[in-house]
Amino acid sequence: MSELETLAAELDAADELAWLRTRFVLDDAVYLDGNSLGALPVSVPGRVADVVYREWGELRIRSWEESGWWTAPERIGDRIAPLVGAAAGQIVVGDSTSVNVFKALVGAVRLADEAGDSRRDEILVDATTFPTDGYIAESAARMTGRTLRPVTPAEVPDALSSRTAAVLLNHVDYRTGRLHDLPGLTEAVHRAGAYAVWDLCHSAGALPVGLDEHGVDLAVGCTYKYLNGGPGSPAYLYVRHDLQPRFDSPLPGWNSHARPFGMHPAYEPVAGAGRGRVGTPDILSMLALEAALDVWHGGRDRSGGGEGEGVTIESVRAKSLALTDFFLRCVSAYVPEGRVESLTPATHAERGSQVALRCDAAADVMKRLIHQGVIGDFRHPDVLRFGFTPLYVSFADVERAGRVLGETLGETLGVLG
């Protein structure tokens, strides 16, 4: 056994979150793609079967009340809230991330409009953002008569002005894993009199966010990455308590009406975060998500697997940093010199829960890794991405991934040589 294998075993033996690994459906592969799709929690299949066969199959329409279907968007939002540093009553679950980005950004511009300052004719958007966020921002700007100005997060403080209505930023860069300064940038946006909208897709469930603590105005996020809600599981929208009475969604639907079953022709929004609802919730995927969140809240297993202690986001963050540190150490030890370059910041304050490595022939390298049971992903043109979900990734996984990467790149170097 090598020195790094021995160290991995010691780290796993001391890992206070190691017991959570049994709460997921895993195989012999090293799964480092949880930043794209989280692993399946063992409690989900039984819960989905119960929803399908009993709640839908037997109770049918009665389940909207008797099984709590109608209140699921707010109820599940309250379960996500502590994972992003929010008090209850500020998060509603439903729709996709893209739809919620649209609601939040247009809603932020409309909040700025209330001030009656016609000079606020500009939206700033993260120039490095996931493409869809940029597409949505461009559409929102055209719809609201604003000019869209792409800037990097580092350029935001100097780009802000009395013209700025809203700013859309990513907490963690999806390509490099860089963690941006949410507290500092939010404060800068507020000093300029604008509204801050944050995309939490690559941070929620991996590190502390502190929405309430840092006064974030609106935020959105997906649930199929570090929250392990399943493919296409519904996203969520955060609207800060004091802004909710003024939040004007660009997508008013019957689900967010104050009297949804009154079928009134005039729209009257419900009070609270429920203003973010639109149409009928996707119950099957929403309740699968709710079961997946049991892992965080005492590790409950609805199939009868017992009860564990609750999981804190602080403990998850500590393990995330330890995992990524160890991976970088393994890469340094195993990978031939000069074959990869880390795009992920070395400093903890600027690192999310993934490591991105620039590598020649990256697409082919990732295919080889996957064939050998180390599953990450590839981003055009030359980036290998490895996501570390602390709930189920072990240090032994990390050592194996670094070793296989080194062997693969060594073989590739030999072929190219």
CATH of domain 3-42+311-416: 3.90.1150.10
- Residue type for position 3: E
Beta carbons of 47 and 76 less than 8 angstroms apart: no
Domain ranges of the chain: 3-42+311-416, 49-295
Task: Please give the pLDDT value at position 185.
Answer: 98
Residue 385's alpha-carbon distances to 67, 206, 230, 246, 317, in angstroms, are 40, 16, 20, 40, 19
* Exposure of 181 in the CB half-sphere (CA atoms within 13 A): 12
Q: What are phi and psi of 139, to 5 degrees?
A: -65, -45
Annotation marks residue 149 as catalytic: no
Q: CA-CA distance, 28 to 290, in Å (whole number)?
A: 27
Q: CA-CA distance, 165 to 121, in Å (whole number)?
A: 6
Q: CA-CA distance, 239 to 111, in Å (whole number)?
A: 12
Q: Which of 133, 199, 217, 377 is catalytic?
A: 199
Count of positions (residues) in the chain: 417
For 76-99, give the DSSP string.
HHHHHGGGGT--TTSEEE-S-HHH
Q: Which of 225, 319, 351, 400 is catalytic?
A: 225
Task: Please give the pLDDT value at position 417.
Answer: 42
Task: Please give the pLDDT value at position 412.
Answer: 65
Task: Please give the pLDDT value at position 303.
Answer: 39
Q: CA-CA distance, 272 to 105, in Å (whole number)?
A: 18
Task: Please give the pLDDT value at position 389.
Answer: 98
The pTM of this model reads: 0.95
Q: pLDDT under 50 in the chain at which residues?
A: 299-308, 415-417
Annotation marks residue 53 as catalytic: no
Q: Classify residue 298 as left (phi > 0), alpha (psi -120 to 50) or beta.
A: left
Task: Please give the pLDDT value at position 297.
Answer: 86
Q: Which of 24, 31, 130, 326 is catalytic?
A: 130
C-alpha 133, offset from chain centre: 14
Q: What sign does the dihedral 257-262-266-271 (CA atoms) show? A: negative
Annotation marks residue 130 as catalytic: yes
- Reduce the DSSP state of residue 359 to 3 states and report it: strand
Q: CA-CA distance, 149 to 294, in Å (whole number)?
A: 41
Q: Which of 23, 385, 400, 403 is catalytic?
A: 385
Task: Please give the pLDDT value at position 411.
Answer: 85
Q: Which of 174, 224, 236, 386 is catalytic?
A: 224
Q: What sign does the dihedral 261-263-266-267 (CA atoms) show? A: positive
Exposed/middle/buried for residue 19 (C-beta within 10 Å: 0-12, 13-18, 19+): exposed
Q: Classify residue 169 as left (phi > 0), alpha (psi -120 to 50) or beta.
A: beta
Q: Class for domain 49-295, per CATH? A: alpha beta
Task: Please give the pLDDT value at position 1.
Answer: 83
Q: Which residue, among 332, 359, 333, has the nearest Cα to 346 in the 3D structure? A: 332
